[in-house]
Structures are given as C-alpha cells and as structure tokens.
Structure 1
Amino acid sequence: MQDVFVFETQCLHSLVKVFPDEELRDGSYTRGSALRGETFDFQVAYRAPALTKPIRVSVTSTSQAAITLREVGLAPSELPCQRRHDDNVLRVTPGLYPDPLLPIDEEQGIVGIHYQWRAVWITVELAEETPAGEYDITVKFAAMTGEMLGEESFHLEVISAVLPPQTLIHTEWFHADCLANYYGVQVFSDEHWGLIELYLLTAVRHGMNMVLTPHFTPPLDTQVGGERLTVQLVDVRKEADGTYEFGFGRLVRWIELCDRVGIRYFEFSHLFTQWGAKHAPKVVAEERGELRRIFGWDTDATGEAYKSFLNQYLPALMVFLRERGLENRCYFHISDEPLFEHMPWYRSASELMQAHLGNFPIIDALTNVEYYEQGLVKGPIPANDHIGPFLERQVPELWTYYCCVQYRQVSNRFFNMPSARNRVIGVQLYKFQIAGFLHWGYNFWNTQYSLQAIDPYRVTDAGRSFPSGDAFLVYPGEEGPVESIRMEVFYEGLQDLRALQLLESLVGREQVLTLIEEGLTEPLSFSQFPSDAEWLLGLRERVNRAISGASASESTKRGRLS
C-alpha cells in the first residue's frame, strides 16, 4: 500500500507550541499587523512523511526588514509542573517540550522526522524607518535535490506609528558565574567579559534594561554553608587596624560595558543572605598579602565585624556612584524573599543600609506587606499572586515578579504552560501601572542551591527542583546565547505594554481600559484573565487599529491647524 502522506506545512502564530507527538490543534494564521520599531514573530509548522534531510528552508519578502529563521528545538523536562497545578496547562507529563530557538545552518538545513510536526520560528525586526504598508513573507522548504517540498506565505501590515520606548524597568537575574562554569573560562578574563557582553546584548534586545551587578558574589540560591564561584567586582583590602580599602576598577569596566550595550539600571546584589538576612554574602579580601574569604555564612549579619565593614564600604560606594553621575540609575537589595519571621534581622539590615544610601532606592522581592508598612523597604516587589494588598495600599512605583511557586491562576512561563499565559503579563502590567518586573532566572544553569552546574540542554528543572522554564531563559550556544520561545513571547508582552501606552497617549487611559475589558465577563486582574491566545491576539489587533485611526486623525488635525 502506498504512503498517502505528503510533506505538509501550516502557518501558525507565535503562541502555539508545536509538539512532535500530537496533531496541530490551531488553525492557520497567515496575517497580522505590527508597529514600526516592533519585532514580530510567527511560525511555520512542517511534517514529513519519512525521514528527510537536509531540508533547506529559506525566506523571501517584499519588505526590507531583517528576517531570521530558527528551528524550534525540543528540550527535556522531568519536572514540567508543580503537583497542585491548575487547568491552564498544555500537558503535565515528563517529556520533550518545544523551547530553544536553534540557528539553522544553510548547508545542514533542518530535518523532517517520520510524521512528526516540527516548526520553524520566523522573527521580523521592523526598523523605526520601515515604511508603512502591506508586505508578504514567504517561507520555502526544499529538498537537497532542489525539489520544492512546500511553502507558506504570511501577510504583514506595518502601521505608520512607531512603538514608543520601554518605560518598564525589567531585570532577569544575570548569573555571571554560570557563564564561567559552562564555558570553562576564568572569571573576569577577557573571554568572560566577551561572553558577558554577548549575553547582555541579547537581554537588552528583549527588553531587559537592568542588570544584577555582583559587587560581591550574590548570596542567591546557595546552600547554607556552601559557596558559589566568586564573581566579585569590588576589590577589598583589609588593613591591620581593621580598616578597609576598596578598588572599583572592575566595576568601572562593568558599567562601561553595560552603557555600551544599552543597560540603563544597575541592581546591586544583596548585601545579606537570602531567606532571612541573617548572614553576610561571600566577601573576598586581600589580607596580609593573601586573598581569602572574610565574610560568609559564618558571619552574623548583626555583628560588629560586618557592620563595621558596611559602614566603611557603603560610603565609599556612594562617593564612587555620585562621581560617575549614577544617582538615578542604581538600586539596592537587602535580602531576597524574607518571610514574616525574619523581620528582626531584616530590620537591622534595613536601618544600617538606609543610614548610608540616602535617596538610592532599596527593592526586594517579598510577600508580607508589613515590611512596606513599617518602612523597612520602600520598594517592595510582591509576587503576582500576592500583589493584592500592595495594590490596595497604592504603593507608588510598584513592581512585581513570579518564580517557581506562582503557578495557580497567574501568569508564568513554564514549558508546559500555553504561551498566552506568558504574554498576557504585558496587559496586566499596563492596567495596574506596574513600574518594574523582576525574575530570578536569566541563565541559572545550576541545580537548586547551586550544588553543581548543569547542562541546560539536558537538565531544565534545576535538578528536579523547579518546573522546567523557571530557571533560565537562554541556552548556551557556541557563539553566545541561544534564545527560547519563552523569551520571545515574554518580549511580545512587553511590546503589547508599549503599544497600550502609545494608544493611551492618543485617546486617553479610560478608552484603553474599556477596549481591554470589552466583552470580558469580569475585570482583568493578575489572577483573572482570558486563557486563550485568540483573545490576546485579537486585543492586540484592535489596539493596532485604534492606534492607526487615532494617528490618522491627529495628522489630519495638525494639517488643518497648519
């Protein structure tokens, strides 16, 4: 009996996750719109009737925009979700999940595997100067012999308005030690600095404008009594009389690199340990001609030795930052995720830091609103499932975050979650006028508590500890970072936020809020939102139409006045 299957292709939107072991559930998506200065993504799924390689994939377009093709790779997950998950997930079983966006070699092409649906990811980068208009983008699949296997065309309308700059402060915690570990380079060697620059460039292109700055090795996800690889930017020398000298040469290089790639804000790493503020981070100093650790888990954070150190270090750092004109670009941390019972230690740390920092803001991820009410932290960052009390108190310039335990009825970006659940955060950030977003895992390639380094292509759940998709957004490539579906989709959410802000500038906030909630059975919140991709895509199209109409009216009005 002859094989009745043929090579198949289908255009899909970016919020579809194509699994190799199931049929496509979504219909074709062949047209969309974007603003000038925006990055637009879509996919083409393909299925071959037999093992077919290489398949050469190419793209042509009537637009002059930069277009990149990448293969949607599969990543393993042993722990795809928490046990008490909600229903807004794609699957809960361990297995292979679409996530890394792999570069396509022109000679090697891609591979078709017997009856498996796979996908190619298409990224269209529109410059602000891109002319408004209608453009066709055609993706073609050809066999090694030159035989055409299939093609799909997408129609993209570019609207004349320009996407405004991002105002949201956005940080994904950058782990410099993980780069050194994976690539086998010495910390702060020229090779390490080169990697840092490549990974920060990718972060900036995806809306990250703040970076975790390790003046001392960050005391994050470290086993009590254990250590992470030293990544300390500040040189410390301890004198015989107990005084300290500080050198800021590497910090200068870090700041200059960040300025070069487009990082705007510096988030100085925590000066007290995670989950309690009871101890000091690892601090290495030169003493009597030898480099050794002088503070760490064995240091009482409330003791005189560490207080004396901070009473000398913080004034020196303030002088350095003010001399470089960085007063409006720096943020500080005390301790990550303190609980209510940790308040006495946090209070001691907060009082000491506030005495030196002046107007420099202190921000911390935490749950209990009492920390804010008692003035211990002016910049609380509640998780999106605990943000209600902070919204009720109208905390100014409020931030939010999520991590491995925000998995019921809120936005997040685990492998097994639909991409709409990732992207919807942009609309939520807009409605509640959130000033900043924090996430702990840009490139955390360790197991939980940093007991050992991992290969992120094989271990995606921090050693069966955090659901896959929580610990990192990028994979390590031979020539720098390999991006993920989750990273691209989250950036789409940030672009939605900017488009909503643009529309607000044209028609007012009330009209935008009405547009967002039109047809919803209950108001949009961090815990109540439509779960389907069609609502989100439809909303963005309505926003684009409204921007186009309002911009045209504004142009006509200006013409009459002139």
Structure 2
Amino acid sequence: MKQLFKLGVFIGFLFLVTSCKENDTKAQGNGNILDNIKSVPEWLKMNVEESLPNKGLNIWVPTGNLQTSSLIRVPRFPRKISETEINKNPALEDFVIKKIDEDSVLKLQAVRNEQISAQIAIASNRYIEDLNVSFSDFKNNNGDVFNKKFIQSRYVKYLSVERARSEYVWSPKIEDIVGEGVSGTMSPNVVGDPLMEYSKVDVPEYRAQPIWFTFKIPKNQKPGIYFGVLKLKSKKLVDKEYNIKIIIEDSSIPDYINYKFHLDLWINPSSIASYYGYKDWSDKHWDMLEVYLKDYASRGGKNITTTITHEPWHKPWINQTTISQSNFGYKSMVEWRKDKEDNWVFDFSVFDKYIELATRLGINESINAYSLTPFHTNQKIHYYDEATNTNKVLELNVGDEEYKKTWTKFLKDFKNHLIKKGWFNRTYLGFDEKPQEVLELLYGIIRESSPEFLDRIIVAGHPETTKYAQNLSISYMFFPGQKLEEKAVVPVIPTISKRNNENKITTFYLCAEPSHPNTLTYSPAIESQMIPWLALKYKTNGYLRWAYNNWTSNPFQSPVFIHNQGDDYYVYPGKNGPISSIRWELLKEGIEDYELFSLIKENRDLSEYDLKLAVDLATKNQDGRFKKAIDMYMYKNLLLKDNSLLVDNNDFKIQKK
C-alpha cells in the first residue's frame, strides 16, 4: 500500500511538473492574435524552428536592413532557405532571418514631408503575451527633436489566401504570383497585409509577427542625424531596446494636394454604406465617406469617380442573369425619373454633394462619370415612374433607337447642369474596356447630342482607343514585355509619346492581371512601391485601378468575391474608417519617390544618366519574387547624390559617359 501511495505521489508530481511546463510555454493570453489559424502541424513548427538563429526568442529586421525592411512580406511561418536556393534566386536572401547585433544602430534615411515605413519581426517557440512597442523622441547633436508623435506603430495581420473565379477564366493563378511571403499548410496558406492599430498583440509559438512602423517627417523638420530608441516589451519574454538613427535630408517633397502624380482609384460609396449598414446617402454615410475620401486624398488622389446610372459594372451570371462585379454593387448618384407626361427628369443633388465634398478635401481635378454603357452587359436604367408610383427598369442596347433618345436627353441636361455648377471643364464621360465598335456608336451619339463632350472622354482599355480619349488609361498587359504587347493594334510607347506631345493625360492600369507587377493581396510587397516608377519609366502621368474599396461582406474571413484577392480593394473596413495595408503604404511611398524624382529632374540636380539609372534600378526585375530589396534603396541614394551603394553592385556598374 505504501509503495502504491509513493507511486501515486510520484505520478502526481510528474503531472504537476508537466502541467506547469505546458502552462508556461503554451498558455494562451487574452490579446489579439493576428491570424485565423486554429492549429499548426508539428512539421510546420519544425520549419520555423530551423529558420530561427536563436533558441527561444528571436527578433530581427526583415531583409537585414531597416531601410528596406518594409519591402517584403514576412512569412507567418518562416523556413530555412538554403545557399543553393539563394544562388538560383538572390532575392531569397532578404528572407533569411539574421539576429540583430546588440550594439548595432538601425538606420533610416528620409527627406522632409515624406513618410518611410520599416518593420521589426519577432518569433519564439513560446507564446508571447501582450507584445507592445514604444519609441523615445529622436534628438540630434544640436538639440533638435523629431517627436515620437510622428511615428505610427501597427501590427501586420494575416489573411487566408483564396482562389477566385477569374483564375479559371482569364486571370493568373495564385501559383504564378505568390512568393516567399506567403506561407502555411495550403489549407490555407496565409499572407500578411492589413495593418492593425492595436496597443498590444499576442504571438502564438512558432509564428512570426511583424510590427510595422511609419515615420512621417514634418515638412519643417530641421535636417540632421537624429537618434532615438525603440522599446519592445511583453509579459515575461520580451524586454528589448534598439537604437535607431534617422538621417533627415535637406530635400523635401510637396504636400499631397500638389503632387504631380495622377492617381485615379475608383471609390465606391455604395460599398461603404452597405458594409457599415448605413442607409444610402444618410448623415452617417456622408460622415464615413468623408473619412475614406480623406484617406484617398492623402495619396494625392486626383480623380472623383461618380456613377450616373445604377450598376455601371455588371457581368453575365448564372441562369442568364447579370451580377455586379463587386459584392455590394454601385448605386447611381443621379436619380432618374419619368414624370406623368413620360418625360425624363434628373435629380443631381447627391452627385453635387459628392463632388463638393471631394473637392473640399483636395480631390479637385477630373470628375469621371460612369457610364453611358455598362461593363459587359446591356444597360438597365433604374428609374421612378411618377405615373404609376413604382420603380422600374428600362433595358437598353447600345444600338437601339430608344438608347440614343434616352442618352441624348440625359447628356443635354447633364451638360447644362455642369456648366451651371462650373464643373464642365473638369468632367469626363467614362468608359471601361469597351470595344472600338461600341465606342464608335457612342461617339456618334455624343457628337449629335452634346458635341462639347467629345473632348471630355476618359477611357480605360486598349491603346487604340486613344483616338476617343482626352484621358486614356492603357492596360499594362499591352506594355513592353507583357502578354498582349504583340497583339496591340496601336503600339503603346509611340501612343504615349504622341499623347504627351498633345498634352493629353495618359495613365496605365492593373487589374487581376498581369502576374507581375501587381498589387494583389499576395503580390510581392516590393511591387507596390515600384508602380509609380513604372510611370516614370514609360513617361505616363500616373496610375489607375478599378477599385479602392470594393470589399466582400467580410474581407478578413472571406476575402474574394469574383476576382483575384485584393484586386478590388487597397484598404480594409475598420470600425471608424479605413484600415491600411502594406500595399497601400508602399504605393504612397512610391508616389513620394515620383515626386522627389520630378523635383530633382525639374531643378536639374542630377544628370540625365543618373536619373535614368535610378529608374532602371527601381523597375528592373518587375517580378518582385526575383527583385532584391536593396534596389529600392540604391535609387534613393542616387537621387540624394550618393552612389556608394552602386560601386560594388554587379548589376549596375557606374560608367559615366
């Protein structure tokens, strides 16, 4: 009996020790965990452990360089990368985890009035609870201060990677796009993109958690070298400090309202109302619209996308029906009515209020009205019939006489209204990917009804539509090296050159294709910052994308509607407004590069050779899976008259002519 008792005590002791050990290493906190993963297989934990240089806690700078650290997506489950892999693809070296030397000083370089992003990542074989960060103020030797209030800290959230219908019809497949930044078990794989504004997070064992920092340099900040401290803390495991040096150059870029870059993103007000559960055009809807429009304006947004009909973007669907190509669709900003005498009457009050709001926020260039013809279907005019007190739908084909009659009436009223408001010279009739024969018919209707609009047309589509468009956005698929280059009826580069000589606006656009470059949720991060540099390379005025905020009903849980993930939104819906993304921040920083480049070129501060070299550095390897992050730092150095990084670079030997 005594022996049984002793054995029981011993087993109980072992159980107690094991329980304490289990609770110590795997105890779950109550904080935010930034993925939706329920369990991690042992083999995946092994992969992560092999990638970490230290046993236990690991903190590192992605890419090994704070200046370029934001240009990769940190995999949630890092893996060990072999020398053989790096020899085949040197860009993989950016994903190798290297410990930070205790006495190192992490360095950033910026100009005034710009923002720069950076990341620190953390992982451990133990659960990290209540991870949080803070900064000291930064000071230089003269006692000048870069205030910590200009530093924003956010945490990268991971989403599942999902397949889309478009992949089975026309767009590239996930496998053609994703790089090392996507990781997981394939059921699902996950990718980091939203930037969450939490005060602290929990990091489960064997998962990497990046922390995203945005440094916003005031335009009146005194140039100099500033030193400060980053502090990382958590319950039990983390208590670290890192010295950071910020070199603030004497150069500066303009305020966003004065950007030269022509950014045209199609904002959907209906998506905001539907997602938040607001009544269309209610006070709450207008208040939230202002928050989102401010965000778009902060990137230098120039264009206001308006809808003059219900659902301008419809696609054929099952059972001979049609469906909006976005989850929530688009409501018209113009109310169509027929009076009791069967005459068309148009109410522009919502349209007017939207233009006034956007203009007040600095989005003050073109007003693009979509659309005389819908995307891929016949047109359905939604209107209120006063004679029967009912809502009706009139279906029209572009070749019908009724179509011509209806739009002739609208265009005349619309023109007179715009002239009265003083907006006519800002307004363009918008057409999206319409074939030339359809544009020819529409051109004829416009010529007969309101010829003043003939010089006020914006087209997104093929290069041959240049003959119709004062403002033309050309699909990047027709650009050099892309899949449709040889199929272009009119070659892209001469078209852009001719349009520049005629002072016509020309941009390019991306959608779910091409595979690279792109800014999909799982595209290599570096490609987002490259986009404005492509505008410099091909001498376009800027960039267009079909949506800023066409979310699914739950973009964090089900991120795909029809098209490749992230094709239709740059930001995510938060409780009080937009949640930014890696793609959205890096696009802004690429636009800032464009502005700095333009100023340097205008002031002739660099030779044409060096300017071309900077563009070549930024745009070589447009497939971001094979692009080294240092390329996007070398051009910045070059613009600031420092070519030291180029001397030992095998790809770009300096050969002054």
Residue 457 of structure 1 pairs with residue 556 of structure 2: yes
Does the aligned pair in 2 maintain the 1:382–1:399 contact within 8 Å? yes
1:226 aligns with 2:319: no
Instruction: Indicate conservation of the 8 Å contact 2:117/2:214, yes or no.
Output: yes
Residue-by-residue CA offset, 1:479-506 (whole Å, 9 max, x unaligned): 1111111111111111111111111012
Q: Per the alignment, in what secondary structure is the counterpart of residue 382 of structure 1?
A: strand
Structure (1/2) with the larger helix percentage: 2
Distance 1:111 1:371 in 2: 53
Q: Residue 161 of structure 1: which of 251, 262, 271 is its match?
A: 251
Residues 1:505 and 2:505 are matched in the alignment? no
Secondary structure at 1:536 match in 2: helix
How many angstroms does 1:149 deviate by? Answer: 1.7
Shift of 1:351: 2.2
Q: Give the length in aligned residue pairs.
A: 519
Matched, 1:132 2:223: yes
Compared with structure 1, are the counterparts of its residues 258 and 509 closer, same or farther at alpha carbon in structure 2 (3 Å cutoff)? farther
User: 1:57, 1:110 within 8 Å by CA — same for their partners in 2?
Assistant: no
Determine whether 1:292 maps to 2:391: yes
The aligned counterpart of 2:524 is 418
Q: Does the CA contact (< 8 Å) of 2:507 and 2:540 recur in 1?
A: yes
List alignment gaps of at least 5 residues for structure 2: 1-17, 26-53, 63-68, 80-94, 139-145, 481-490, 500-504, 644-657
Paired AA for residue 436 in structure 1: G
Take 2:212 and 2:412, find their aligned partners in 1: how far apart are those partners? 50
Matched, 1:16 2:124: no
Given the superposition, is the C-alpha separation of residues 151 and 117 from structure 1 closer, same or farther in structure 2, using an over 3 Å criterion?
farther
Shift in Å, 1:423: 1.4
Alignment correspondent of 2:612:
514
Shift in Å at residue 148 of structure 1? Answer: 5.6
Match of 1:370, as an amino acid? Answer: E
1:271-317 CA-to-partner distances (Å, cap 9, x unmatched) read 20113xx632543234326252343xx31222222322221221222
3-state SS of the aligned residue for 1:182?
helix
Q: 1:220 to 1:151 in 2, by over 3 A?
A: farther
Contact 2:181 2:524 in 1 (8 A): no
Contact 2:524–2:625 under 8 Å retained in 1: no
Aligned to 1:352: 445
**Relative to structure 1, is the Cα distance of residues 390 and 438 closer, same or farther in structure 2, using a 3 angstrom cutoff?**
same
Deviates more, 1:25-34 or 1:168-177: 25-34
8 Å CA contact 1:500–1:512 kept in 2: the answer is no
* Partners of 1:240 and 1:512 in 2: CA distance: 68
Describe the shift of the 1:86–1:482 C-alpha distance in structure 2 as closer, same or farther (beyond 3 A). same
> Which one is further off, 197-206 or 29-38?
29-38
Quote how far apart the aligned CAs of 1:528 are. 11
Once the two structures are TM-superposed, the CA of residue 509 in structure 1 deviates from its matched residue by 6.9
In 2: Cα distance, 1:318 partner to 1:138 partner: 59
2:150 to 57, 63, 66: 66
The CA distance in 1 between the partners of 2:288 and 2:519, in whole Å, is: 25
Distance 1:466 1:237, change over 3 A: closer
Aligned pair in 2 of structure 1 residues 384, 345: CA closer, same or farther (>3 Å)?
Answer: closer
Q: For 1:499, what is the secondary structure of its paired residue? A: helix
Provide runs of 4+ in structure 1 moved above 6 Å.
Answer: 1-4, 525-530
Structure 1 match to 2:358: 258
- Residue 180 of structure 2 aligns with which residue? 90
Matches of 1:111 and 1:151 in 2, distance apart?
A: 19
Tell me the residue number matched to 2:214.
123
Q: Distance in 2 between matches of 1:360 and 1:318?
A: 13
After superposition, the Cα gap between the structure-2 partners of 1:133 and 1:353, relative to the gap in structure 1 and judged at 3 Å, is farther
1:42 shift after superposition: 0.6
| Larger deviation, residues 534-543 vs 239-248 | 239-248
- Higher Cα Rg: structure 1 or 2? 2
Partner of 1:381: 473
1:333 is paired with a residue of what secondary structure? strand
Cα distance change on mapping 1:260 and 1:137 into 2, 3 Å = farther
TM-score normalised by the chain length of structure 2: 0.73
CA deviations on 1:136-194 (whole Å, 9 max, x unpaired) are 3432122347x862233332211122213311221222122222221111111111112
Equivalent positions of 1:466-545 (< 5 A) are 466-507=563-604, 510-516=608-614, 531-545=627-641
Letter matched to residue 591 of structure 2: L
The 1:326–1:9 alpha-carbon spacing in structure 2 relative to 1, beyond 3 Å, is same
Residue 508 (structure 2) pairs with residue 400 (structure 1): yes
The residue type paired with residue 322 of structure 2 is G
Question: What letter corresponds to residue 516 of structure 1 in structure 2?
Answer: A
The verdict on how the C-alpha distance between 1:173 and 1:51 changes in structure 2, with shifts beyond 3 A counting, is same
State how far apart, in whole Å, the 2-side matches of 1:152 and 1:160 are: 26
SS in 2 for 1:405: coil
Shift of 1:546: 6.2
* Higher alpha-carbon deviation: 7-16 or 147-156: 147-156
Q: C-alpha distance in 1, partners of 2:629/2:478?
A: 25
Unaligned stretches of 5+ residues in structure 1: 447-453, 548-562
**RMSD, matched Cα:** 3.0
Describe the shift of the 1:34–1:361 C-alpha distance in structure 2 as closer, same or farther (beyond 3 A).
farther
1:250–1:26 distance in 2 versus 1, CA, 3 Å:
same
The within-5 A match list for 1:219-368 is 219-223=312-316, 225-226=321-322, 231-264=331-364, 265-275=366-376, 279-288=378-387, 290-295=389-394, 298-334=395-431, 336-338=432-434, 342-355=435-448, 356=450, 357-358=452-453, 360-367=455-462
Q: Distance in 2 between matches of 1:530 and 1:459?
A: 29
Contact 1:180 1:192 in 2 (8 A): yes
Of 235, 239, 243, the residue aligned with 1:149 is: 239
Give distance in 1, aligned partners of 2:72 and 2:190.
15
